[in-house]
Chain A
Amino acid sequence: MATPVETISPLQYAARIIRENPVIPLILLLCALVGLLEGLQPGIFNERWVGNTIRFAIPLAMLAACQTLTMLTGGIDLSAGVVATVSAFVVATLTPLVGGPAAIVLALVPAVLMGLVNGFGVGICRVHPLIMTLGTGLIGTGCLQVYQRYVINTGSEIPGFFEFLGTGRTFGMPNALYLFVPFAILILWGLRRTGFGRLLYALGANENATRLSGVRSWQVLMALYTVVGLIAGITGLLYVGIIRAPSLSLANSLMLPSVAAAVIGGTSIFGGRGSYSGTIVGALILTVLGTLLTLLQIPEGARRLLFGAIILAVTAVYVRITDQS
């Protein structure tokens, strides 16, 4: 009995490749955006511009890692922006008092604490992550403002290490890559090859089934949100090195774009599906898009409008491509 030969048209074949490698259309979109930019302003695509784009995409991509990891379990971390801001502000104000290394450690303490509280609420009390992280974000902002009044006279200084990472260049590429490349490899490897990474996917795909197969989901969630808090804290340290001016709302403007970067990168907000490589490309797309909209010199209102519309359009197309299976 001869098996019927499956005939597929080249178009279907292409669609299948895209579905199995969802990063490809994103990279194509990124190239198209860069091409458009080059067409609008010939000569902009040079080493300096690429370096700058990468430099500003890195904090976004790191904060978006928080969103990717939590979204894989069906959650979200809306406190990440506040956590980053708190760490950045604390490190900048404590460095003149206690020196760089001690300040870095002290700055990461609130980040881990907020992550722990998030993990406790989400993992043990079963609070919806959206609400839990909104609440801790609110508390964090309040605490930061109270803290600010005690250190108002100390002035601010950024540890030399993070200033080196944030502003320096090696061979034209930003030094922040020294931090980001190992970080990205760690996340990519962790998600694909370690048990913890697979547990995240499993929890997001079907929490009850995962629990019934003997996984203590609260431990996983607790560990996840603590790690995510730490990542957000480190992002804050790097970001203050790039911006070099600590403020009480430093990284808050990165918050919603970080969710957008993860979503554009193909991570499902319901959990169980997504990858960090997509998120990195998503962060690059958003950064290039920001440059493009600035370059067009359209008013601020229209810029935000287009930003939102493009996020929605990309996600809609993406859902259509990947959801057919």
Chain B
Amino acid sequence: MKIFSKIYIALILLFLYAPIAVMVLFSFNSSGSVWVFENFSLDWYKELLFNTSMLNALKHTIIIAVLSAIISTVVGTAASVGILALRKKVTKSLVMSATNIPLMNADIVTGISLMLLFVFFGKLLGLHESLGFITVLVAHITFNLPYVILSVMPKLKQTDSSLSEAALDLGCTPLQAFFKAVLPSISSGIFSGFIMAFTLSLDDFVISYFTCGHYQTLPIVIYNMTKKTVTPDAYALSTIIFVVIFVLLILYNTVQNKSSVKEAAKI
């Protein structure tokens, strides 16, 4: 039985990671072929350095990911504090469902509706081009927010409410009390919310596609390439992105583990 379960796990991992492994492998292939591996080379990585359109898109993606992650983390944390402070249970659960709906909503619906809204406002303001940097940024903040709230909220709930009272009692203004007493206890939740937002923003295609205008992000540029042929430098770039996300994920998990070990130690 033990052997079977091991084989089973191996198979699952194989199916999950075979595509990525193949991609990583062929990013080091000296020829452009997708079925013959000739020699190991870093040519495609070098090529990538000179592919300005792709590098430009990468820059856009990173700017959007960093900015949207920062803004949604700040706004989401503030929102969590506000939602928890709501007195009436009915309003609390109403607001929570309202923030959760975008999580379940199909990306394509979110994308199209945001595009409509942006174009509408653009026309209203008489802008020549309504879609661009700002709209894609706002779109990313929008879909990141619920994830941040979802990861900050439980931490905030766990935090002893008398902590902020203790800080007030010792002379802190309410704002100081939040930064000095509450924030340190929920920092792991905020951090994981940030990482989550960053990675989600990094690989979003559907919503960006509808809202970015000329400010094209990487997934969109790669998608456009498929209309012609995908060159192996795209494998190289995807490999890099995979590694970055992999590292972030490990980081995320260690932070989560550390804080859960701390919780366990307290009990």
- Do A and B associate with each other? no
